[in-house]
Structure 1
Amino acid sequence: MKILHASAEVAPFSKTGGLGDVAAALPAALAAEGVDVLVVTPWYARLGGDAEPLWIGDVDVPFADGIDSVGVGTLERDGVRFAFVGHPDFRRDEAYGYADDVRRFARFCRAVPAVAARVGFVPDVVHAHDWHAGLLPVLLERAWHLPDGFPGRPSVATVHNVQYQGVAPLAHVLHWARLPLELIGSHLEHDEQANLLRASVGFADVVTTVSPSYAEELSDPAYGFGLETTFAALGQRLVGILNGIDTLLWDPASDEHLAARYNAADVSGKATCRTALQGELALDDGGPVLGVVTRLADQKGIDLLLAALPQLLEQGWRLALLGRGDAELERLAAEAEADAPGRVAFRSAHDEGLAHRIYAGSDALAVPSRFEPCGLSQMIAQRYGTLPIVRATGGLRDTVTHQRDGFVFEAASASALVAAALEARSAWDGVAWRAMQRLAMSHDRSWQASAREYIARYREVMGVDA
């Protein structure tokens, strides 16, 4: 079985959120199951992970009025081959966030088949991740000028976050991607615009998302961001498959970022990690540490956290907040630190090492998201014996059980968060807390079960019996 994954970001080469983690971990888990995998991703100006792709030449890609020359770079890690799409469109300071992003990723989609063919890879299934790769299912079904073996190839589309859809004028997208005018009125069009996420969902043979609860929520107007009827019409074509985490990277027994290692059988090292974190962030020892590792965004409920903060401090919590994002939320977080020195620490950064130390050194982790397709932080926290306090939505609902391996609250409000935090504070450091820690740390959050479920879906679209 040969599977091509296309993603705008792949950790450690590029990452702005959970998409990068999934696009790295799922292919590696598939490779461990014997699947031949190629991951195609943009060749950004700055690649992480000390990546130095080997340039193997250029390929011609039809785009807009002409033929583009696109560079191809390759490397292999952990049994997975990676191919990088090189073009000036991707030689920018950030992966995305530009006014011409839809055009940039239309070019990426157009390049993926040619780049795969250049490295000799003709897949059985093409797996497109989020809107950035959303034109691929359309191209496979309706485009001209595809390499041999690609026309009509089955596809799987994964929706990681429906909030981001890739919207641009329809005529422009048809022109850029060299698609026929017959696609006007098709799944590509929504509200008289091209919508790349809707195109991906409509043209793919199977649509997956990253947790069973999120798959249900997508048909709800409160969560569907205007595409709820599209998802409701999918029926059994829509499947929720819970993400895993990289259990080698996230392992308190071997984590090199920590002051001490520990495991479920002996958590004594966690106290050392807590003391070290307090020293690093200048937090006093007046109460349990509440960690938060997140993007600072409305989706993540950070405004709710900051509104709840005075009452959380009254309960005795100390806050360790790591993340970047919305400028106003960053300003408010910095003000909170200035107003409560020794009790609040905020670091505006993408700091992988500090993230590990917060997961290990905190007593609980707050995830007050308004919606959360899957969420990785709560599963990482559980693995480190740090009990999550989460809102009951999406993958948070699927992975945390109230007062068994964490704490769950229903309403997206500061008061609901405060109430759940009080429950956690009352239980902290007692016999029940230790039992919850042991259960949380015992969960198998690896990618292998998820990988096997994806393999079943690939077989389904290939028409192959399990």
Structure 2
Amino acid sequence: MKILYAASEAQPVAASGGLADVAGSLPKALVEEGHEACVVVPLYVNTIKQQWRDQMTYVTNFSVPVGWRNQYCGLFTAKINNVTYYFLDNEYYFKRDFGLYGYYDDAERYAFFSRAVLEMLKVIDFKPQIINSNDWQCALIPVYYSIFYRNDEKLWGIKNVFTIHNIQYQGRYGMEILEDVLGIPKHFASLMEYDRDINLMKAAIEVADKVTTVSPTYSKEILDPWFSHGLDRALSDKQYKTCGFLNGIDTDMYNPATDPSIPANFTVSKKAGKKICTQKLLEEVGLPQGEEPVLGMVSRLVEHKGFDLVKCVFDDIINLGYKVVILGSGEAQYEQFFHEMRWKYPDRVAFTCGYIPDLAKKIYAGANMFLMPSKSEPCGLAQMISLRYGTIPIVRKTGGLADSIVDCGDENGTGYTFQSYNAHDMLYAVKRAKDCYWNKTEWNKLVTRAMKADFSWKQSAKLYIGLYKELAGEQ
């Protein structure tokens, strides 16, 4: 199979969230299975580090139609983790000072990128059977293909897969940008329109050959208005072409036996290093040593991650005897709350505002439990990473959390779950975890099961390959 994986970010070159992990790991797994998978991303001038810039080679340049004008696009390539990466360069769009997204002209920036991906295929010696586009930033790729490129002799026969990582962000804009910015003729307005706005994700759902989500449960949840952020009507009409595959994690990047970011390495058969990681974590965040269980959280501090539940019963969690280590940033109310809790419980609570990758790894490795009480969670990777490091997840049964964590009420359990979005149901799961923690024989068995859980990309990649082959007419 020949697959082009189009994303607005990808590890290890540019990342702001879980999409980058998937875009860096799935193509790598596809290559390991013997397929030719390439990744295409924007060349973010101030984000991509020099070590990756030094590996790039210039291929060519070409013009890209953007609305009523043509824009320059430079094409660079590099081989990273045995995967061919293509980088699309235009400094007007992708040389920005802060972050990848959130600019006034994001619609134009990613309209350029989407059209450039298709124009690129005319000038390189690679014709994919499948283009897998991801989230709203790449939603225009299947749309442009359907409108402008379907009958192009160089691109004829390509199938389009569109993957929804987070349905909350849909690419909604006013109808006035249809022609001047997106370059889409007025007679296609009904394709782009949804609830009197342009909705890029809705348009991609309409025209893609297949729509995937990042977990089986999430693919069903988004048919419900509670989860869909308004897109349930569009998805209900397209159920026949929608499915969900659970993401995996890069087990080389997240490997407690070899990870250089953690104070001591350990394995499922030799766990002594886990205790050292706990001691060093407490030391680094300024909490006293002790035998109390350490509860970790690494997350964006936003409501849909369940932090309103945490606020409601935080004092109760401390009273159960936990030490809590939090890393994250987001809404001011939650940042302020955790600053206050750090002052209120100086020997029990540590809070670092922001995101520090090395500290995140140390929390995964050094905590005993990891809390994810999400209101919605398309897939979630943190629970899989914490399992890999022998840290027991406490999660709400939603999206990928429901698909990846088996409750310890089952003999094959790997974590603690709760069903309803309720603070005291969450608190009861936290209490169950603490009770097991003090039964060292049972806790050691649980940690062993957790570390043996397989969430490598190998299984997920096979599901994607099956889908790609079905679309391409191969067996």
TM-score if structure 2 supplies the norm length? 0.94
Matching of residue 242 in structure 1 with residue 246 in structure 2: yes
Q: Secondary structure at the match of 2:386?
A: helix
CA 1:420/1:48 → structure 2, altered by over 3 Å: closer, same or farther?
A: farther
Which residues of 2 match residues 361-380 of structure 1 at below 5 A? 361-380=366-385
Matching of residue 454 in structure 1 with residue 464 in structure 2: yes
Distance 1:258 1:60 in 2: 47
Distance 1:208 1:330 in 2: 34
Distance 2:150 2:119 in 1: 10
Q: Secondary structure at the match of 2:74?
A: strand
Which contiguous aligned blocks of 4+ residues in structure 1 show a shift greater than 3 angstroms? 116-119, 144-148
Distance 2:27 2:62 in 1: 25
* Identity between Structure 1 and Structure 2 (%): 36
Counterpart of 1:178 in structure 2 is: 183
Could you list the runs of 5+ residues in structure 1 that have no partner in the other structure? none
Q: Secondary structure at the match of 2:65?
A: strand
Could you list the runs of 5+ residues in structure 2 that have no partner in the other structure? none
Q: Secondary structure at the match of 1:408?
A: strand
Counterpart of 1:76 in structure 2 is: 79
Which residues of 2 match residues 81-160 of structure 1 at below 5 A? 81-87=84-90, 88-92=92-96, 93-143=98-148, 148-151=153-156, 153-160=158-165
Query: Across the two proteins, how many residue pairs are aligned to each other?
Result: 464
Match of 1:231 among 229, 235, 254: 235
- Per-residue Cα deviation, 1:367-411 (whole angstroms, up to 9, x for no partner): 011000000000111111110000110000011111111000112
Distance 1:284 1:383 in 2: 26
Please say if residues 385 and 441 of structure 1, whose CA atoms lie closer than 8 Å, have aligned partners that are also in contact: yes
The residue type paired with residue 204 of structure 2 is: S
The residue type paired with residue 328 of structure 1 is: Q
Q: Secondary structure at the match of 2:446?
A: helix
Which residues of 2 match residues 189-338 of structure 1 at below 5 A? 189-286=193-290, 287-338=292-343
- Per-residue Cα deviation, 1:276-323 (whole angstroms, up to 9, x for no partner): 000000112341100001111112112322332111110011111111
The residue type paired with residue 187 of structure 2 is: E
Please say if residues 282 and 345 of structure 1, whose CA atoms lie closer than 8 Å, have aligned partners that are also in contact: yes
Distance 2:350 2:341 in 1: 8
The Cα of 1:61 is off from its aligned counterpart by 0.5
CA 1:166/1:110 → structure 2, altered by over 3 Å: closer, same or farther?
A: same
Distance 1:230 1:248 in 2: 38
The Cα of 1:43 is off from its aligned counterpart by 0.9
Please say if residues 63 and 70 of structure 2, whose CA atoms lie closer than 8 Å, have aligned partners that are also in contact: yes
Distance 1:347 1:280 in 2: 11
- Per-residue Cα deviation, 1:139-196 (whole angstroms, up to 9, x for no partner): 111126997522552100000000000011234134333223221222x220121111
Please say if residues 172 and 197 of structure 2, whose CA atoms lie closer than 8 Å, have aligned partners that are also in contact: yes
Between 1:174-183 and 1:263-272, the stretch displaced more is 174-183
Q: Secondary structure at the match of 2:223?
A: coil
CA 1:177/1:121 → structure 2, altered by over 3 Å: closer, same or farther?
A: farther
Matching of residue 46 in structure 1 with residue 56 in structure 2: no
Which residues of 2 match residues 329-368 of structure 1 at below 5 A? 329-368=334-373
Please say if residues 371 and 395 of structure 2, whose CA atoms lie closer than 8 Å, have aligned partners that are also in contact: yes
Match of 2:59 among 56, 61, 67: 56
The residue type paired with residue 124 of structure 1 is: Q
Counterpart of 1:16 in structure 2 is: 16
TM-score if structure 1 supplies the norm length? 0.96
CA 1:152/1:140 → structure 2, altered by over 3 Å: closer, same or farther?
A: farther
Distance 1:392 1:174 in 2: 43
Q: Secondary structure at the match of 1:51?
A: helix
The residue type paired with residue 447 of structure 1 is: W
Between 1:387-396 and 1:407-416, the stretch displaced more is 407-416
Between 1:373-382 and 1:193-202, the stretch displaced more is 193-202
The residue type paired with residue 414 of structure 1 is: A
Distance 1:119 1:50 in 2: 25
The residue type paired with residue 461 of structure 1 is: L
Distance 1:361 1:49 in 2: 32
The residue type paired with residue 236 of structure 2 is: A
CA 1:210/1:23 → structure 2, altered by over 3 Å: closer, same or farther?
A: same
